Amino acid sequence: MAQITITPTLALDDAELSFTYILASGPGGQNVNKVATAAQLRFDAAQSPSLPERVRARLLELAGSRATRDGVIVITARNYRTQQQNREDATQRLA
């Protein structure tokens, strides 16, 4: 399993992240309203076995409006024209 390194002592299992792809607004040429390239990352911080309790509390505090009441962090990345680039962008923003 792949891991996302946050700090030298903290890493998230890639399986804890879920992605959906949605239509992106903005530039994109002919495919702008036809191809779902924006990536929406969901990470259940409240239930994550990878996070110590103090890190979880700090993460949810920092997430602000990006966290749901249930402790799921949602990040939408739409800066790039490909799903892969937007997926990487969302993952980096979470880290």
**Residue 68 belongs to domain with CATH number:** 3.30.160.20
Helix ranges (DSSP H) in 1-95: 53-63, 83-94
User: End-to-end alpha-carbon separation of the chain, Å?
Assistant: 17
Strand partners, 39: 21, 77
CA–CA separation, 59 vs 30, rounded Å?
A: 38
DSSP for residue 26: S
pLDDT of residue 6: 85
**Mean pLDDT of the region 78-90:** 91
47's tokens: 């239930």
**pTM, whole model, 2 decimals?**
0.84
Q: Which domain does 7 fall in, by range?
A: 3-94
pLDDT of residue 3: 85
Residues of the chain with pLDDT > 70: what percent? 87
Number of domain units in the chain: 1
pLDDT of residue 48: 92
Residues of the chain with pLDDT > 90: what percent? 58
The kind and range of the H/E element at 20 are strand 17-22
pLDDT of residue 27: 58
DSSP for residue 67: B
29's tokens: 């040429």
pLDDT per residue over 28-71, tens digit each?
A: 555 555 678 889 999 999 999 999 999 999 999 999 999 999 99
